């Protein structure tokens, strides 16, 4: 918040597989007494279980208070909702995409479900950090947001907040005193568990936070870019991450559906972006990955590589590979090994 074997919802980005983190390092540190960790959560997120009948869109609300430097951090990951975090004490290394910062007290972080981020670099200094993760029904930029019905903010206010958060993806902000106080109240409520009266306090605190966030962003008047919400950007993100999903049984229909588009529109946008049809681009990526595995993983069999890269049979893989590289996979591996040995001898 390696490909996990256990069943849980996961997310992929350009280099690795990222998932809704179980925060194992955080849980271990808490169990060993290295810090205080409290959370209300559901799904794969750690903490006291939220009831199924209430606050259904709240994936997690939590905080940690680390009085000393830690030997862990939360690696690159994405979340199932929009995450709003606040640093009340200490410093905190935070990375999002290609950007990174050392947060100081009063820092506010906002990440969307498709934004990969990490906390720590790679470990954490002493700090107190709080956050909530709200599922607003989106996994890609071109989907409409659906805020929880238990938010009291008027629809017009939520519509404007949505517009700002969709058309500006800045992650780092400086919060005002009122937001800090709101997170203090939320921390206190989180620590008191899931009694009905306490869940009401959690609900009130989150409502206050959303109202204050909307006021803060409106006041800061960030530059907005409507193209961030467009179908072309969604396809670009999909194609960027496709290399890490090669083992899935993609078809033109399923690729288009993953972007929320029809076949024709998806194919048109794909050709515009990579100058290839979707299926041709998929095969291109699969063959690139297979060539790397042949060289970098000599213990893998040809059949294992074929299936790992999404080919339905080793025979089809061998034929496609020969057409691309003018030699069968086994010969490609042998030639690459010989070239590597020559370079090693100088």
Which residue would you say has higher pLDDT here, 181 or 337?
181
pLDDT for 323 equals 96
What pLDDT is recorded for position 11? 38
Q: Which residues of 136-161 are buried (b: 16+ CB within 10 A; e: fewer)?
A: bebbbbbeebebbeebebeeebbeeb
Counting every residue, how long is the chain?
A: 346
pLDDT, tens digit, for every residue of 110-126? 999 999 899 999 999 99
pLDDT at 15 over 80: no
Over 50: is that where the pLDDT of 30 sits? Answer: yes
| Domain ranges, ordered by start, for the chain | 10-227, 232-345
Task: Please name the residue that has the structure tokens 């200094």.
Answer: 125
Higher pLDDT, 60 or 338: 60
Structure tokens of 256?
């288009």
Flag whether pLDDT at 193 surpasses 50: yes
Q: Does the pLDDT of residue 3 top 50, yes or no?
A: no
Instruction: Among 26-30, 67-71, 148-152, name the one with the lowest average pLDDT.
Output: 26-30
Kindly compute the dihedral angle of the four CA atoms of residues 309, 312, 315, 317, in this order, to the nearest 10 degrees: -30
Give the fold, CATH level 3, of 232-345. Answer: Arc Repressor Mutant, subunit A (1.10.10)
Look at residue 130 and give its three-state secondary structure: strand
CB contact at 8 A, 124 and 82: no
pLDDT range class, residue 345, cuts 50, 70, 90? confident
Considering the entire predicted model, what is its pTM? Answer: 0.83
3-class DSSP assignment, residue 245: coil
> pLDDT confidence of 146, banded at 50, 70, 90?
very high
Mean pLDDT over residues 186-197, rounded? 96
Q: State the sign of the Cα–Cα–Cα–Cα dihedral 283, 18, 169, 122.
A: negative
Give the span between the Cα atoms of 320 and 327, in whole angstroms.
Answer: 10
pLDDT, residue 21, reads 57
Q: What is the mean pLDDT of residues 267-273?
A: 97
Token output for 129: 């950090």
Q: Which residue has the higher pLDDT, 82 or 13?
A: 82
The answer to whether residue 27 scores a pLDDT higher than 60 is yes
Superfamily of domain 10-227: Jelly Rolls (2.60.120.10)
């Amino acid at each position: 918040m390696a490909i996990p074997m256990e069943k849980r919802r996961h997310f992929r980005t350009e280099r690795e597989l990222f998932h809704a983190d179980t925060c194992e390092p955080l849980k271990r540190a808490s169990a060993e007494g290295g810090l205080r960790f409290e959370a209300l959560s559901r799904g794969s997120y750690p903490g006291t279980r939220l009831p199924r009948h209430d606050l259904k869109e709240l994936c997690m609300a939590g905080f940690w208070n680390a009085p000393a430097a830690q030997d862990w951090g939360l690696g690159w990951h994405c979340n199932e909702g929009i995450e709003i975090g606040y640093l009340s004490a200490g410093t905190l290394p935070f990375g999002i995409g290609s950007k990174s910062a050392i947060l100081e007290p009063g820092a506010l972080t906002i990440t969307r479900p498709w934004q990969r981020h990490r906390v720590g670099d790679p470990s954490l200094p002493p700090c107190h950090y709080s956050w909530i993760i709200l599922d607003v029904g989106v996994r890609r930029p071109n989907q409409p947001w659906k805020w929880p019905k238990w938010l009291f903010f008027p629809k017009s206010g939520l519509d404007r907040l949505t517009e700002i958060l969709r058309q500006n993806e800045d992650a780092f902000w400086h919060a005002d005193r009122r937001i800090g106080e709101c997170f203090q109240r939320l921390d206190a409520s989180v620590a008191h568990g899931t009694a009905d009266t306490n869940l009401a306090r959690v609900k009130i605190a989150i409502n206050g936070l959303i109202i204050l966030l909307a006021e803060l962003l409106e006041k800061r008047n960030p530059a907005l870019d409507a193209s961030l919400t467009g179908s072309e950007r969604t396809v670009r993100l999909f194609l960027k991450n496709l290399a890490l999903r090669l083992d899935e049984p993609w078809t033109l229909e399923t690729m288009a559906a993953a972007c929320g588009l029809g076949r024709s529109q998806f194919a048109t946008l794909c050709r515009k972006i990579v100058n290839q049809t979707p299926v041709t681009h998929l095969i291109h990526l699969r063959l690139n990955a297979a060539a790397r595995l042949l060289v970098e993983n000599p213990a893998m069999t040809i059949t294992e590589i074929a299936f790992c890269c999404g080919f339905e049979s080793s025979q089809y893989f061998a034929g496609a590979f020969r057409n691309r590289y003018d030699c069968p996979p086994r010969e490609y591996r042998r030639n690459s090994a010989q070239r590597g040995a020559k370079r090693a001898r100088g």
